[in-house]
Structure 1
């Protein structure tokens, strides 16, 4: 499993396991057990996923089984939109207590706006700044090895870079061949921020895209592997989610094949500026 060095020197695996909608302790345990067995060392959760405690408990049981220790894995969680601003420190501490693994390797602001406020609410920028300052304090205390943001636009990120004392290490956004994010990737590269993709399969819609299927058949790979490889070949991290052991295994096999220039161009040429998840652009 290949890794990327973040802007503070922390190493993060390029491929992690997403856990959105992975609920119930038995399901969490079986999913993480399969993932660890197939070489995953990075796990992505969030306060709003409602599974932080189950993930932390399962990892405590599973690490000895797989001959691993806490330092061998990378755990990411995120600040709930309801905890933006004055409630940020308390929200961060709840995540730390829920996962209960001593520290979190990466902690992200999940959304640029506060829950319950309209997107255009003029209080959002100050709320984001207050959240970031709370996260910076916990980073300095060693509770977070790295901090970053999720669903930020280039404008949100530019504003953060103008005032932060600790630079964001990661920006996690929706990214796939229907939403190539080339300008955002270029801005992140210039700013030393690692771009990590979620919904790399277009919430499943890209799996049946004829050009993706045709390329996968020619290469003897699954459509999911082709889509994930398109990202990691650009240096973009991915966090595919599955609870099926066979798919978990296949989604990790991304480093034993290469997409040619024409293959990459074919996939990037599918760009239609289509978002299948959330659109942060209206958030002030």
Structure 2
């Protein structure tokens, strides 16, 4: 498998579109950090970039895309760009009304993947209808969901005419979501891992450290390689150039069946600590999209420590 996989490898979604197996996540990144990280990632060969309106950094991501394309000579169609419907924008008409804003901030004329960020009760089915409309009009190449469990999916599919191509969920060695993965296989939907390193908790596991030492790799690299060999799309987040490069250095080794099995035994159904305390389901206050993007045209160069 190590000979077959590379940073440019892609999987085929249920609508025939090709999606890279690894990308860059930018949750919690500022505008400056997001721009630098995205530009760096594109220079390093990343093709998949994942953001969300909720992150408040779409404009920074767009700036990084432009700089990365200019630096590498790549074209827009070489990249796979994902963003997500903000909780406060959910509902049929509100989703349609606010979609263009994400495109404008990103500086794009289409998205490769548009996700419902969370299944907001009473709204996510209407939101999905809006995504189906955007998909039918060619404004997005693929549509999917994020943080949907089997109950939400069963409800959504009762009225959906398009099966979600992707469900982006929290996934790491301590939270392996086996039931959701099995469900996704049955309906031909890909699983994409957010927080693949378990919010940093998995990095301290001694069994993972022992496996990593055997391969001369870091624990993070072993986890990301495990994702790929588990047929999981992975989007590790970093704003540091060295870590972005290291996260992509996972294609020159292959985990043995024994090591894959050992990692599978680490599951604790344990969500990240920050996740438990964060009010993701309130579409306002700390989750609200902020106006920092309006200041982007006047933004200055990055602080030096962002580049370390």
User: Same fold, TM exceeding 0.5?
Assistant: yes
Contact 1:106-1:144 at 8 Å conserved across structures: yes
Could you list the per-position Cα deviations for residues 99-158 of structure 1 after superposition, in whole angstroms to 9, with x for gaps in the alignment? 121101000000012xxxxxxxxxx2x411110001111111111100000000011112
* Other-structure match for 1:257: 253
1:180 to 176, 183, 205: 176
1:66-105 matches, within 5 Å, as 66-86=72-92, 87-105=94-112
CA distance in 1, matches of 2:14, 2:250: 24
1:91-170 matches, within 5 Å, as 91-113=98-120, 124=121, 126-170=122-166
- Point out where structure 1 has 5 or more consecutive residues left out of the alignment: 114-123
1:189-200 matches, within 5 Å, as 189-200=185-196
**Aligned-pair CA distance for 1:28:** 2.6
* Other-structure match for 1:47: 53
Contact 1:80-1:91 at 8 Å conserved across structures: no
Q: TM-score, normalising length from structure 2? A: 0.84
Contact 1:17-1:42 at 8 Å conserved across structures: yes
Contact 1:92-1:135 at 8 Å conserved across structures: no
| Mean CA deviation greater in 214-223 or 255-264 | 255-264
2:12 is the alignment partner of 1:5: yes
1:225-264 matches, within 5 Å, as 225-264=221-260
**Aligned-pair CA distance for 1:29:** 2.8
Contact 2:35-2:62 at 8 Å conserved across structures: no
CA RMSD of aligned residues (A): 1.5
SS at match of 2:158: helix
SS at match of 1:146: strand
SS at match of 1:102: coil
1:191–1:185 Cα change, 3 Å: same
1:32–1:44 Cα change, 3 Å: same
Q: TM-score, normalising length from structure 1? A: 0.91
Could you list the per-position Cα deviations for residues 23-50 of structure 1 after superposition, in whole angstroms to 9, with x for gaps in the alignment? 133x233212221121101100000100
- Point out where structure 2 has 5 or more consecutive residues left out of the alignment: 1-6, 282-308
2:68 is the alignment partner of 1:62: yes
